[in-house]
């Protein structure tokens, strides 16, 4: 008798527990955020987390009556296998509604088949190789693509009388995309590529390559290296080997002068010209509000960069989808909302191209200058409504 009672109450607790769990599950919209939070690319995850916190600080953590919950997962990357395992866990165990983040291309590519099979909207907040969005119909990208940013740099260089260039890129997806788009536009505009150098993604040793650039005597060197420490290392070598004195200019994608590391780059970076979609110096009310909420939500976060902005915009997309679907996330309906989705980002107006699910945005030409004693990428020209040119 006693035994049966215990059994009954255990069942009751079990059932109650389950009901409570189901209710809780229904009251939450879960976002699985996959990015490196440790290792050489740890800043990527931290910038994204900072951007997400800034967004949630401004807009609260409830949409359509449901709480938005972010589950952060560290890939330690670049580590595609870990990213894949984390995505599987998020889908199967945590039952997330969205996959998001993705600092590095190999990690985004590794997760794309999971988004496709599990039918999970996957919001790319950085990874910038053109091909990524073609790997699942559930992917939408709010960040950038390297061809989108690099082609305008070539156009600007040709227009400004630069005729002979050496390219140097990180030897993986985004670097090869940057090299190809720059070359195509530069040669198409009458320029000459003297040499194309590719350096390893992990711990590149720039010194010998910088000597090769110097020996080739170009008018400029075009650079793509992944944002962060590598930009600092390249500029240090550029300064030490006297390339500026040899009359060799630096033109680059804005990854080189990433806002987060720019204040630490020193005066050697003054005058560097880059093309990019975001500068912390962008003059708009949306950017002012973003910088303010980023600082408030991340007291030791330093200066936000383009990854923080993409994460902030990615959250705006997730909130809008959740609102439009009244809190019930269905992947196909979510993609219908994302196709053609628009917002006024801290970087300027952006749109998700309904055909390609890739971002359409303004690409700015900027020059590193001192503003109030600090180094900034100051925008002075722009290309409006730029699509990924490969699509």
Handedness of CA 145, 306, 365, 289 (dihedral sign): positive
Number of chain positions touching ligand PHB (CB under 6 A): 10
One of 129, 322, 345, 356 touching ligand PHB (CB under 6 A): 129
Helix (H, G, I), strand (E, B) or coil at 145: coil
Min. distance of Cβ 105 from ligand PHB in angstroms?
Answer: 4
* Span from 1-9, 124-132, 344-352, 370-378 in contact with ligand PHB (CB under 6 A): 124-132
Q: What angle do CA 203, 37, 81 make, to 5 degrees?
A: 75
Residue 279 phi, psi (nearest 5): -130, 140
* Span from 126-134, 275-283, 348-356, 383-391 in contact with ligand PHB (CB under 6 A): 126-134
Q: Which residues have C-beta within 8 Å of that of residue 126, sequence separation ≥ 6? A: 35, 44, 48, 101, 102, 103, 104, 143, 306, 307, 310
Binding positions for ligand PHB, 217-246, rule CB under 6 A: 226-227
Min. distance of Cβ 253 from ligand PHB in angstroms?
Answer: 8
Binding positions for ligand PHB, 247-306, rule CB under 6 A: 255
Min. distance of Cβ 257 from ligand PHB in angstroms?
Answer: 11
Is residue 104 within the footprint of ligand PHB (CB under 6 A)? yes
Is residue 48 within the footprint of ligand PHB (CB under 6 A)? no
Nearer to ligand PHB, 52 or 128 (CB): 128
- Tell me how crowded residue 3 is: count the other CB atoms within 10 A of its CB: 7
Q: Which residues have C-beta within 8 Å of that of residue 343, sequence separation ≥ 6? A: 313, 316, 317, 320, 349, 350
Is residue 105 within the footprint of ligand PHB (CB under 6 A)? yes
Query: With helix as H, strand as E and coil as C, how does 248-298 read?
Result: CEEEEECCCCCCCCHHHCCHHHCCCEEEECCCCCCCCHHHHHHHHHHHHHC
- Tell me how crowded residue 80 is: count the other CB atoms within 10 A of its CB: 17
One of 128, 210, 223, 335 touching ligand PHB (CB under 6 A): 128
Beta bridge mates, 382: 364
Nearer to ligand PHB, 143 or 185 (CB): 143
211, 209, 208: which is closest to 169 by C-alpha? 209
* Span from 123-131, 236-244, 289-297, 359-367 in contact with ligand PHB (CB under 6 A): 123-131
Q: Per-residue x/- marks for ligand PHB, 339-368, CB under 6 A?
A: ------------------------------
Is residue 112 within the footprint of ligand PHB (CB under 6 A)? no
**In this structure, what DSSP letter does residue 131 have?**
G
Is residue 127 within the footprint of ligand PHB (CB under 6 A)? yes
* Span from 64-72, 120-128, 276-284, 331-339 in contact with ligand PHB (CB under 6 A): 120-128
Is residue 174 within the footprint of ligand PHB (CB under 6 A)? yes
Is residue 175 within the footprint of ligand PHB (CB under 6 A)? no
Nearer to ligand PHB, 199 or 331 (CB): 199
Nearer to ligand PHB, 173 or 327 (CB): 173
Which helix or strand (DSSP H or E) is residue 385 part of?
Answer: strand 374-386
- Alpha-carbon gap, residue 219 to 248, rounded angstroms: 5
Q: Which residues bind to ligand PHB, rule: CB under 6 A?
A: 104-105, 126-129, 174, 226-227, 255
């Amino acid at each position: 008798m006693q035994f049966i009672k215990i059994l009954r109450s255990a069942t009751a607790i079990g059932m109650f527990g389950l009901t409570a769990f189901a209710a809780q599950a229904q009251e939450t919209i879960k976002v699985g955020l996959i990015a490196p939070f440790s290792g050489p690319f740890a800043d990527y995850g931290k910038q994204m987390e900072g951007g997400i916190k800034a967004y949630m600080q401004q807009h609260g953590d409830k949409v359509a009556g449901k709480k938005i919950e972010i589950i952060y997962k560290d890939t330690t990357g670049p580590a595609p296998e870990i990213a894949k395992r984390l995505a599987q866990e998020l889908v199967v165990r945590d039952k997330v509604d969205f996959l998001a983040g993705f600092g590095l291309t190999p990690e985004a590519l590794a997760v794309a088949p999971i988004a496709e099979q599990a039918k999970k909207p996957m919001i790319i907040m950085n990874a910038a190789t053109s091909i990524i969005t073609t790997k699942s119909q559930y992917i939408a990208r709010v960040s950038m693509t390297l061809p989108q940013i690099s082609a305008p740099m070539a156009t600007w260089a040709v227009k400004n009388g630069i005729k002979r260039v050496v390219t140097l890129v990180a030897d993986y997806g985004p670097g090869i995309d940057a090299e190809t788009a720059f070359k195509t536009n530069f040669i198409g505009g009458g320029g000459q590529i003297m040499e194309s150098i590719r350096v390893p993604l992990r711990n590149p040793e720039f010194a010998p390559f910088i000597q090769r650039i110097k020996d080739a005597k170009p008018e400029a060197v075009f650079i793509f290296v992944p944002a962060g420490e590598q930009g600092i290392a390249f500029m240090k070598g550029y300064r030490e080997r006297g390339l500026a004195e040899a009359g060799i200019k630096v033109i680059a994608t804005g990854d080189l002068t990433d806002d987060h590391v720019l204040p630490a780059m020193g005066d050697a970076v003054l005058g560097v010209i880059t093309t990019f979609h975001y500068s912390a110096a962008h003059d708009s009310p949306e950017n002012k509000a973003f910088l303010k909420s980023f600082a408030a939500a991340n007291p030791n976060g330093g200066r936000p960069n383009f990854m923080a902005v993409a994460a902030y915009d990615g959250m705006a997309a997730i909130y809008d989808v959740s609102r439009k679907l009244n809190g019930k996330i269905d992947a196909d309906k979510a993609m219908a909302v994302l196709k053609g989705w628009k917002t006024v980002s801290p970087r300027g107006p952006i749109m998700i191209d309904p055909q390609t699910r890739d971002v359409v945005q303004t690409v700015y030409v900027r020059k590193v200058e001192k503003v109030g004693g600090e180094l900034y990428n100051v925008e002075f020209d722009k290309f409006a409504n730029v699509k990924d040119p490969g699509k």
